[in-house]
């Protein structure tokens, strides 16, 4: 019997026992709620692990949903109602997985609404919850400090308290941030570095960080913080500086934008690739004991370096003129000024330099970043050129 015949034989054998397996599934699979106990249900709904992602429509949520689906999870996502379409980053998952598929379901809810959280947790009964939802923009948090505190801070309390009330043995991931370190006291920053947040966003994340630890220590919950340094991708929000740079350059080449306006070019950040960071989130929830981890690349670059890498990637020849607020970048081919400083983008309190030390994640989780900064810039620039429908200069 050759390999093809062998395969055919195996498939026919499986075909013979399939009805028997199906009847076993119907007989023995039951759910946790008394009203649903011993209800017939399919293997895919009960055997696969279930995850709930808040912030599934965001950059990280969309990559995490993809990652968990490939791991065989049934993925539930909390989405908030918006008057504009907010599912662009996960739309393709509906095309791959039918809308009624039991392994991908969205539920309307909001981190401001405890009842919606209880309802969704009760329906989804997740083994793992990834709390990625937040008002996640540092600059905007200075304009909406109260709202940022309510969603990014208290929203985490609502979710943890809903889990505790229902009593599910769920593992909980909190999206903590390198903005906790703010005016960093030591460099590089690791899990033991003291916090010094410098924005309403950083303060709200600090509250959520401590609350997650508190629920772990008070109630024995498997609740962990991933302290993630900046991570970017073509799905990054358009008003975050890296994406703003790559999208604006593409739009300038397409003739849709004259100039890119930026704030502090000397701010130094540790930028990684979001797709790699979501895997680290999952790894944290697979540990035997709950613990907090930093994820970072360990390399820092200024906004200026990112900008110049992006201009080079788009093949725009440039020269710098002026200093401070008068500084500008000129396209030497066209003579046009294409980048200017706008002090409007300076923050009331700046975070000048963050760089992470992820050695604990490397040794305990086996996690490490693979994409270099020039590679990341190339991925983002390529995607935005495609989006704008233009070629490199």
Ligand X SMILES: NC(=O)c1ccc[n+]([C@@H]2O[C@H](COP(=O)([O-])OP(=O)(O)OC[C@H]3O[C@@H](n4cnc5c(N)ncnc54)[C@H](OP(=O)(O)O)[C@@H]3O)[C@@H](O)[C@H]2O)c1
Does the protein bind ligand X through residue 151 (CB under 6 A)?
yes
Q: Which range, of 35-43, 122-130, 228-236, 244-252, touches ligand X by CB under 6 A?
A: 228-236
Are 247 and 387 in contact, with CB atoms under 8 Å apart?
A: yes
Task: Identify the H or E element spanning 220.
Answer: none
Cα-only R_g, the chain: 24
Distance CA 226, CA 327 (A): 37
Smallest gap from Cβ 380 to ligand X, in A, equals 13
Least distance from ligand X to the Cβ atom of residue 18, Å: 40
- The SS3 assignment for 326 reads helix
Nearer to ligand X, 228 or 355 (CB): 228
CA distance 302 to 318: 18
* Residue 295 binding ligand X, by CB under 6 A: no
Check binding of 300 to ligand X (CB under 6 A).
no
Beta-carbon neighbour count of residue 363 at 10 Å? 10
Applying CB under 6 A, does 136 fall inside the site for ligand X? Answer: yes
The yes or no reply on residue 230 touching ligand X (CB under 6 A) is yes
Name the DSSP class of 343: G
Which residues have C-beta within 8 Å of that of residue 167, sequence separation ≥ 6? none
Tokens of 200: 């309403």
Min. distance of Cβ 219 from ligand X in angstroms?
Answer: 22
Is residue 110 part of the contact set for ligand X (CB under 6 A)?
yes
**Cα–Cα distances in angstroms (integers) from residue 113 to residues 97, 139, 170, 334, in the given order:** 29, 25, 20, 53
8 Å CB contact between 329 and 337: yes
| Beta carbon nearer to ligand X, 60 or 308 | 60
Residue 188: asked if its preceding bond is cis (omega within 30°), the reply is yes
CA distances (Å), origin 231, targets 43, 123, 164, 234: 36, 32, 31, 11
Instruction: Label residue 21 exposed, middle or buried (CB < 10 Å: 0-12, 13-18, 19+).
Output: exposed
Nearer to ligand X, 7 or 349 (CB): 349
Q: Decide: is 225 part of the binding site for ligand X (CB under 6 A).
A: no
CB of 133 to ligand X, least distance (A): 3
Counting contacts by CB under 6 A, is residue 316 touching ligand X?
A: no
> Is 141:183 a contact under the CB 8 Å cutoff?
no
Q: How many CB atoms lie within 10 A of CB 322?
A: 13
Looking at beta carbons only, is 140 or 254 nearer to ligand X? 140
Q: How far is the CB of 266 from ligand X (least distance, A)?
A: 19
Residue 391 CB, nearest approach to ligand X (Å) = 28
Q: Is 175 in the site for ligand X (CB under 6 A)?
A: yes
153 binds ligand X (CB under 6 A): no
**Does 112 participate in binding ligand X (rule CB under 6 A)?**
yes
The C-alpha atoms of residue 251 and residue 244 are separated, in whole angstroms, by 10
Q: Given the complex with ligand X, which of 113 and 327 has the nearer CB atom?
A: 113
- 148 is a contact residue toward ligand X (CB under 6 A): no
Cβ nearer to ligand X, comparing 177 with 251: 177
Residue 371 interacts with ligand X (CB under 6 A)? no
For the bound state, the minimum distance from the C-beta of residue 149 to ligand X, rounded and expressed in Å, comes to 12
Sites for ligand X among residues 43-72 (CB under 6 A) = 54-55, 57-61
**Cα angle 136, 138, 144; round to 5:** 85
Q: Identify the residue whose tokens are 């701010």.
A: 267
**Residue nearest ligand X (C-beta atom):** 58
Please identify, using beta-carbon distances, which residue of 187 and 312 lies nearer to ligand X. Answer: 187
Candidates 80, 119, 183, 330: give the one binding ligand X (CB under 6 A): 80
Q: Name, in order, each residue with C-beta under 8 angstroms of 124's C-beta and a sequence gap of 6 or more.
A: 50, 52, 76, 105, 107
Binding flag, residue 231, ligand X (CB under 6 A): yes
Assess contact for 287 and 367: CB atoms under 8 A: no
Q: How far is the CB of 216 from ligand X (least distance, A)?
A: 19
Residue 111 in the binding site for ligand X (CB under 6 A)? yes
Report the C-alpha gap between 326 and 360 in whole angstroms.
Answer: 43
Residue 301 found at the interface with ligand X (CB under 6 A): no
| Stretch of residues binding ligand X (CB under 6 A), selected from 95-103, 128-136, 357-365, 368-376 | 128-136
**Binding test (CB under 6 A) with ligand X, winner from 86, 186, 218, 332:** 86
Q: Name the residues that contact ligand X, by CB under 6 A.
A: 54-55, 57-61, 78, 80, 82, 86, 110-112, 132-136, 151, 175, 177, 228, 230-231, 237
């Amino acid at each position: 019997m050759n390999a093809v015949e062998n395969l055919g034989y195996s498939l026919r054998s499986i075909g013979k026992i399939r009805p028997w397996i199906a009847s076993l599934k119907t007989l023995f699979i039951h759910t946790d709620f008394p009203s649903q106990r011993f209800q017939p249900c399919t293997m895919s709904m009960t055997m696969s692990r279930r995850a709930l992602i808040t912030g599934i429509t965001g950059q990280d949520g969309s990559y995490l949903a993809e990652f968990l689906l490939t791991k065989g999870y049934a993925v539930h996502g909390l989405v908030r109602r918006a008057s504009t379409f907010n599912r662009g980053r996960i739309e393709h998952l509906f095309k791959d997985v039918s809308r009624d598929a039991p392994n991908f379901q969205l539920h309307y809810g909001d981190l401001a609404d405890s009842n919606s959280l209880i309802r969704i947790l009760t329906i989804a009964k997740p083994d793992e919850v990834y709390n990625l939802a937040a008002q996640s923009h540092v600059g905007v948090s200075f304009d909406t400090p109260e709202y940022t505190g309510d969603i990014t801070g208290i929203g985490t309390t609502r979710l943890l308290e809903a889990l505790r009330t229902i009593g599910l043995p769920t593992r909980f991931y909190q999206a903590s941030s390198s903005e906790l370190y703010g005016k960093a006291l030591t460099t590089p920053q690791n899990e033991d570095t003291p916090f010094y947040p410098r924005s309403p966003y950083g303060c709200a994340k600090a509250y959520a960080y401590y609350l997650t630890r508190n629920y772990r220590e008070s109630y024995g919950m498997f609740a962990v913080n991933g302290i993630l340094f900046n991570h970017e991708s073509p799905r990054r929000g358009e008003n975050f500086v890296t994406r703003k740079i790559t999208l604006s350059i593409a739009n300038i080449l397409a003739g849709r934008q004259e100039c890119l306006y930026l704030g502090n070019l000397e701010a130094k950040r540790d930028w990684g690739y979001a797709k790699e960071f979501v895997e680290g989130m999952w790894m944290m929830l697979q540990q035997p004991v709950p613990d907090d981890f930093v994820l970072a690349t360990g390399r820092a670059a200024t906004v200026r370096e990112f900008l110049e890498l992006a201009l080079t990637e788009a093949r725009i020849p440039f020269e710098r003129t002026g200093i401070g607020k008068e500084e500008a970048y000129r396209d030497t081919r066209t003579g046009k000024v294409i980048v200017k400083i706008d002090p409007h983008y300076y923050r009331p309190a700046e975070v000048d330099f963050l760089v992470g030390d992820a050695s604990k994640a490397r040794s305990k989780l086996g996690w490490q970043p693979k994409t270099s900064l020039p590679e990341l810039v190339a991925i983002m620039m390529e995607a935005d050129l495609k989006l704008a429908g233009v070629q490199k200069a």
